[in-house]
Amino acid sequence: MAILNLNNCKPFAQGYNRYCFQHPNNPDRCVKVIRPENITARYRRQSAVKRVLGTARLNDNVQELKAHSQPAIRQLLRAGKESIVWSHLPRFYGSVETTLGPGNESELIRRTDGSVAPTLESLIRSRKLTTDLQDAIGRFEAWLAETRILTRNLLPHNLVVTDRSGQPELFLVDGLGAPTIPQALAGVPGWSERYITRKITRFHTRLAWEQDNRGLSWEDFQRLR
């Protein structure tokens, strides 16, 4: 398999752990590549006990691959319900070798005008939570409850907003999947529902902080709620 050349590409977005590139041969896809120096830095800050677990759990690409194989997603895909899975997740195409190391390839969510979909964080900071955004958030949360797809903490910068269906819709572009123990408990009756409810409640607190944090840190804001 040919190695994807990203040497002359500039990331259109980046987080602490990964760079996001537009696929050089397909403008409707993106490639996420790990920033290895940050994995090393995170590993060095770990306690001796946690270091025994290795660095794979700190690699967001490895964790994203595992997250897409979680039971809720596998069951929906086996049942032919792809449209439900991908109604709030970018289509995922797996791992690809690049000149910058292993990458994860997925759908690049765009708006109807062709621009890359903005993050929910950028929208609520510029114009607060409008009615149409609140409705979009409600549909996204209903989708989580219906599918029982597990995520980590829902953060506004990990959600993008597209208008390609004629109305705003949220897509989770990062933070899919749950830690090992919560994922192992997913089969316990009622557990996934409670887990997702907690994540949604925390998400609402985060949205409130993003809009009006009164100069408080996220940690201090949570303690007051």
Judge whether 211 lies within some domain: yes
Q: Mean per-residue pLDDT for 105-118?
A: 97
Number of domains in the chain: 1
Judge whether 8 lies within some domain: no
User: pLDDT category, 8, cuts 50, 70, 90?
Assistant: very high
Judge whether 169 lies within some domain: yes
* pLDDT value at residue 3: 95
Judge whether 6 lies within some domain: no
Judge whether 3 lies within some domain: no
Q: Mean per-residue pLDDT for 79-91?
A: 98
**31-59, pLDDT tens digit by residue?**
999 987 766 666 556 666 565 556 566 68
Judge whether 215 lies within some domain: yes
The alpha-helical segments, DSSP class H, found in the chain are 36-45, 48-51, 60-67, 71-78, 82-85, 120-127, 131-147, 180-184, 191-211, 218-224
* pLDDT value at residue 44: 59
10-24, 33-47, 116-130: range with lowest mean pLDDT:
33-47
Judge whether 7 lies within some domain: no
Asked if residue 116 has pLDDT above 90, the reply is: yes
User: pLDDT category, 176, cuts 50, 70, 90?
Assistant: very high
**Domain of 171?**
13-224
Judge whether 159 lies within some domain: yes
Q: Which helix (H) or strand (E) holds 162?
A: strand 159-162
Cβ(116)–Cβ(12) under 8 Å? yes
